[in-house]
Each structure stands twice: as C-alpha cells, then as structure tokens.
Amino acid sequence: MGIPAAIAIDFGGTNIRAALVTAEGSLLHHVSTLTRVEEGVQAVVERMIDLAEQVIAASGAGPEIPVGVVAPGPLDPDAGIIYFGPNLPGWRNVPLRAMLAERLGRRIVIGNDGNGAALGKVMFGAARGCRHLIHVMIGTGFGSGIISHGQLIEGYRGLGAEVGHLSVNPDGPRCHCGGIGCLEAYVSGWALARDGEALAHSGRSEALRRAAAGGPVTAELVTAVAQAGDAAARSIFENAGRALAVGLAGLVNVFNPELIVIGGGVAQAGDLLLDPLKRWLPHYAITYIVDQVRILPSALGTDAGIYGAAARAFLVTGESPPGVVRLD
Amino acid sequence: MGIPAAIAIDFGGTNIRAALVTAEGSLLHHVSTLTRVEEGVQAVVERMIDLAEQVIAASGAGPEIPVGVVAPGPLDPDAGIIYFGPNLPGWRNVPLRAMLAERLGRRIVIGNDGNGAALGKVMFGAARGCRHLIHVMIGTGFGSGIISHGQLIEGYRGLGAEVGHLSVNPDGPRCHCGGIGCLEAYVSGWALARDGEALAHSGRSEALRRAAAGGPVTAELVTAVAQAGDAAARSIFENAGRALAVGLAGLVNVFNPELIVIGGGVAQAGDLLLDPLKRWLPHYAITYIVDQVRILPSALGTDAGIYGAAARAFLVTGESPPGVVRLD
C-alpha cells in the first residue's frame, strides 16, 4: 500500500516553505517563513520543525507520512548531512536528517534542491513521465538536475549534477565557485547584473543607466530594458544565450535527452534568452541528436522546491510511478 | 542458469575481429580480417558471419550462445539498426541485427563501440565493479562511454554519450562532425596530426619537420618528437591536455564519477597528455567533486571492442554481475 502524501520542506537561503503534497500532486496546508540564516544552525532547524509541525497539525498526517527536504549546496543524501552551503554561513557538516528525525519522529529524506526540482518535474510537472530530462533553473544562480534512463544523476557521492559549473569558455569570466568560464558566470541573475552594471557604467546603454537611476543594475532591469528594445541590453542576452547553447549542446551530445526544461526567474526573459539559445544550439550539438530534443520553458514556480522535496520522499519510500524514475 | 560464454564481434572501419569470451573473461578462438568497407554492405556482413562461424566451429558453441556486436557510428541498439558510419561509406539504416540473426540462427545484440568499451571495462577490465565511470578512448577519433549509477548512459534513442563532441571552446577549431571547438578537434590523432603539420610547415619545429622527412606529420611523429623534448611539439600536448581538462571537468561536475579511464593510441603519450590534464582539471571542476575522482590510464588494448561486445551480450541476456551495471 502506498503512502497517500508526504510532508515537503523547501529549505532555501531566504525562505523556508512547507506543505503537504498528495500522491496525486495536490499541494495543501502551505506555510512559510524567512530563513534568517544569520541566527545560526539551531534556530533555522527549529523553524523547519515548527513549519513541519504546523503542516502535521493542519493535515492530521500520521507518523507513517514521511518528510522530504530539499536544501541548497552540496550534501550527502544517503547520510542526510549538509556539507556546506554557499548561501548558508555557519552550515558545515550539519546532520540535518538526524536532527529532524529526532524531533519529528518520522522518516526524513534529504536531497539537493536542483535534483529535487528535476524529480518534481517528472513526477508532478511539465515533464511528467519523461525518462530523459535535463532541467535547469536560472535564477540568482544556476540550478540543475538530470534524469537519464529514469535515473536521477547524483553520482558517486551525490554531488552531481552541477550543470551551472560546466565551463563553456576556458578563458571566460571567473565564477563564484572559483572556476573559469562556468555557465553560471554567463547565465544567471548575478552574471546578467554584472554585465548590465558594466554596460551602464561604460556609457554603452543610456537606457540602462537611466533605468538604474543611480541604484544597482539588477537582472530584472537588464531584462526590462532589453525587452523595451535596447540593443546593448539585448546583446547581454545574446551572449548568455550562446553560452547556454554551448553548455546544453554538450549535455545533449552526452545524454541524448528527450526534453530540456528551462525554468527560474531569468528564464522569464523568454525569447530574449531562448532565441539565441535555439539559434546557437545546432552549432555545438550533433545534428541527429539535437533534432530529437524538445525545449520547454517552465513557468516560474515557487513550488518547484516543495514538489521536489515531496517527490524524493515518495521515491525513497517506494512510491514513485513505477518505471519512470528512480534513485540509486 | 547463466550462459557460460558469448561470441563477440568488434566491427571497425579497418578490421573485424571475433572471439569467444567466457563469463570469467577469458578470450578464446580469436580471429580477424580486414573490413574492406569499399566492397559494400553485403560483403562486409558476410565477413562478420564467416568470422562468427569460425568461432562457433572452433569452440563448439551451441545455439544458446548469443552474439554481441559493437559497431562504430550512431545506431539503434533496440532495433539493431546502424544509422550510418562516419567511416562506413554506403552504410545507411542497415538492419545488421536481423541480417546476422537470419544467418547465424541465434540471439544477436548490437551496440555502439564506445559504449561497449565502457561496459567491457566495468565487467572485465580496469574498472571492474565501478558504478560511476567515464571512459574515453583517444585514437584517430575520440570514443567514449559513461556509466552512472551502474546505468550505461545511451539516452532516449541510444545515441549518447558523445563526449568527443563536447565543445570546449565556442570559438575553437571546426570538428569533422560540423561542430565548433569539439574535444575531438583538440585531442585526437587527427587533431594532433593537424597541429603537427602546421608546426612543421611554419618552421616552429625543426625537429618535427626533419622527422616527417617530407612525408605527412602523424600523431605518432608528434608524440615521438615531443617525448624527445621538442618544446613546440610539447606545446601541442599542453593545448590538448588543457582542452581535455575542460571537457572532463564538465563531466566531473555533472556525473561526480569515481573513476576516469583514458585509453586509446593517443593516450599512450602518457604524461605528455596526463600532466597538463591533471594540472588544468582543478581550474575547471568543482574542488569537492574533482577531489573524489581517480584518473587511470588504460593500456592500449585492441581487445577492448571484443570485451565490449561480449559485455553487452551478457547484459542483454541477463548475465551481468548483479547490481554493477545495467542497460535500460
């Protein structure tokens, strides 16, 4: 007999969200709070427990209902330990699963947020039933998850699949990760803001300088000014779209995927990004492989994390749609 | 009950080899012939049948013993059809499995040679038991196969994993595949020969010009002259090793592999290639992921194809070591 639902926690650097997700994909009893990571590990874990208890109380979920958690940064899904988080100061080798299990008295399942989002898409979302998926979420950073032959690609120690850190140019810009020419250093909120800032200060985009009005140039500003037709701002997206094409082409050649889903805030720029992507992709991918892949934009869903956390809980407890997707 | 052996055929553009491979990995009754692809599809298929029949006669293999075939180029392993071959003129949508099955009267299993070599390595070779392997074979071209979570990564239509066509530089040299800056356009026999030819003609390597003695510059010549200490020839390997680092770093970030095995003729250059590879890899891969991977050179084995063909036959008939590797 299957479990009817899972409690899902989406643990991010800014917010923590929780909800009950049913096996049919209904999202119920949604609650959220600010993470306030500056208050330390214990305080943040308390907030997760509090949200989970709110969902349990509201839903009447019995102790057989597991809790799925997605978290940022490198973690060990088997051991349930968060190694560290780029946006989680103070988090080093935190045994989050054990901490939650002790207090919540039920099964806890932990996974990376990018991988979770891919699982959520094939179990509940736009890629339902797809066994060969590349999922990228381009927001402030570049998140990703890959499912190949129905297997979530996490790797030897659960640290894959870091698509955002594929180098697409050996002499490209430095990435926050320390790498050179990473996809994220071309296609992310911070990269667009960096390029927009440079444009505004160089005098090459009067429109962008005016829009910033003396404040910082954000990815949203670059997008708005590009959508209004500013050629210089559009060139930022041309550059980003070409870099995205180089990186995704490599993955197409390696994975021969059925579907690429592109979500996240930056993806809301739509054709500004997708047009150069689609134009450049055939230059860097093998024709007979790239011809088979569909590219779908995904609506910006703040629920991607919650569905991902629930998907992992269903999978680990053996409740996935049979044959579609599996964990190791 | 397991099958005790498989008949293995390694179908290449230059040679066809066949042998009996036992479940324990013994290679028996080895026979081979030139492919003579210019004589047409039917003549080549006849040669495969002839070799298989020689192995059957010599070994006394009963009709329950399957035949595994590895072949170059894109093919459909499920349908047993070779789409085409870069080095196989005249081969277009050839139903090789059906043609062999009709004449040999036993089960036939067909797969790509790069993927087969990876399977052979985890079942019989240097990566025995490894569930997270990146295997590359750098010869005239750049062959590859990836096993992740014990799953051979072939993709939606069986056309992966084409590691040699990862673009490692969006403004790099043209590849034979039509792509730009492919790994193979930096690290392969033909790329080394191209770079060596340019060096010899530009007068930047007197040693290479002398070694070529008016003839063509080959990858073997570039290797020999570099090994003798010629700085210009060594710079070709530095460039190739850096490109290999960019490409493999991307795969490390995506797959979090346990092991990278590098084989093939060009890999015989050893430290000439491996030193720059290992030096550049950390610049393009995430530290905590690349720290976990071992890189092993593999002896140039002309038997890699035969073991690969046998491995696939064992797998399809359900005879793999349980839990180690699987096909879809």
Among B132, B151, B251, the residue with its CB nearest the CB of A149 is B151
In a domain, A326, yes or no: no
Residue A320 has pLDDT above 70, yes or no: no
Q: CA of A239 to nearest chain B CA: how many angstroms apart? A: 11
pLDDT at B319: 64
How would residue B324 be classed by pLDDT, with cut points 50, 70 and 90? confident
> Residue B183 belongs to a domain with what CATH number?
3.30.420.40
Query: pLDDT per residue over A243-277, tens digit each?
Result: 999 999 999 999 999 999 999 888 889 999 999 99
Residue A164 has pLDDT above 50, yes or no: yes
The number of domains in chain A is 2
In a domain, A272, yes or no: yes
Residue A178 has pLDDT above 50, yes or no: yes
Is A218 found in the same domain as A153?
Answer: yes
Q: Which domain holds residue A180?
A: 130-297
pLDDT at A182: 96
Q: Is the model more confident about A300 or about A153? A: A153
Residue B321 has pLDDT above 70, yes or no: no
Neighbour tally for A40: CB within 10 Å: 13
Is A254 found in the same domain as A154?
Answer: yes
In a domain, A322, yes or no: no
Beta bridge partners of A147: A133, A152
Average pLDDT of the residues in A51-57 = 98
- A154 vs B285: CB contact, 8 Å cut-off? no
pLDDT at A149: 95
Is A104 found in the same domain as A9?
Answer: yes
pLDDT at A322: 56
Average pLDDT of the residues in A172-181 = 93
Is B153 found in the same domain as B71?
Answer: no
Is A222 found in the same domain as A174?
Answer: yes
- A149 vs B153: CB contact, 8 Å cut-off? yes
Total count of residues recorded for chain A:
328
Is A234 found in the same domain as A93?
Answer: no
In a domain, B278, yes or no: yes
In a domain, B18, yes or no: yes
Chain A residues within an 8 Å CB radius of B158: 256
Residue B1 has pLDDT above 50, yes or no: no
What element of type H or E holds B263? strand B259-263
pLDDT at B68: 97
pLDDT at B320: 59
How far is C-alpha A235 from the geometric centre of its chain's CA atoms? 25
Q: How many interface pairs between A and B have CB atoms less than 8 angstroms apart?
A: 161
How would residue A13 be classed by pLDDT, with cut points 50, 70 and 90? confident
pLDDT at A262: 95
Q: Return the percentage of chain A with pLDDT > 90, whole number.
A: 80
Is B150 found in the same domain as B48?
Answer: no
The answer to whether the CB of B138 falls within 8 A of the CB of B188 is: yes
- A149 vs B146: CB contact, 8 Å cut-off? no
3-state helix, strand, coil in chain A (%, to 5): 40, 20, 35
Average pLDDT of the residues in A70-92 = 89
Is B100 found in the same domain as B75?
Answer: yes
Q: How far apart are CA A273 and CA B49, in angstroms?
A: 52
Is A97 found in the same domain as A179?
Answer: no
Is A156 found in the same domain as A96?
Answer: no
Beta bridge partners of B132: none
Query: pLDDT per residue over B244-274, tens digit each?
Result: 999 999 999 999 999 999 998 888 899 999 9
Query: pLDDT per residue over B130-177, tens digit each?
Result: 999 999 999 888 999 999 999 999 999 999 999 999 999 999 999 988
pLDDT at B299: 65
Residue B279 has pLDDT above 60, yes or no: yes
Is B172 found in the same domain as B48?
Answer: no
In a domain, A124, yes or no: no
- A160 vs B289: CB contact, 8 Å cut-off? yes
The residue of chain A with its CA nearest to that of B294 is A156
ipTM: 0.94
Query: pLDDT per residue over B103-130, tens digit each?
Result: 999 999 999 999 999 999 999 888 888 9
Beta bridge partners of B101: none
pLDDT at A89: 86
Residue A27 has pLDDT above 60, yes or no: yes
pLDDT at B172: 96
Q: DSSP string covering A167-208, please?
A: BS-TTSPBPTTS-BSBGGGTSSHHHHHHHHHHHHHHTS-HHH
In a domain, A194, yes or no: yes
Average pLDDT of the residues in B234-244 = 97
Q: CA of B168 to nearest chain A CA: how many angstroms apart? A: 6
Is B144 found in the same domain as B88?
Answer: no
In a domain, B327, yes or no: no
- B162 vs A328: CB contact, 8 Å cut-off? no
pLDDT at A299: 66
Residue B227 has pLDDT above 50, yes or no: yes
Distance of CA A275 to CAs A144, A312, B58, B224, Å? 21, 33, 60, 47
Q: Is the model more confident about B9 or about B86? A: B9
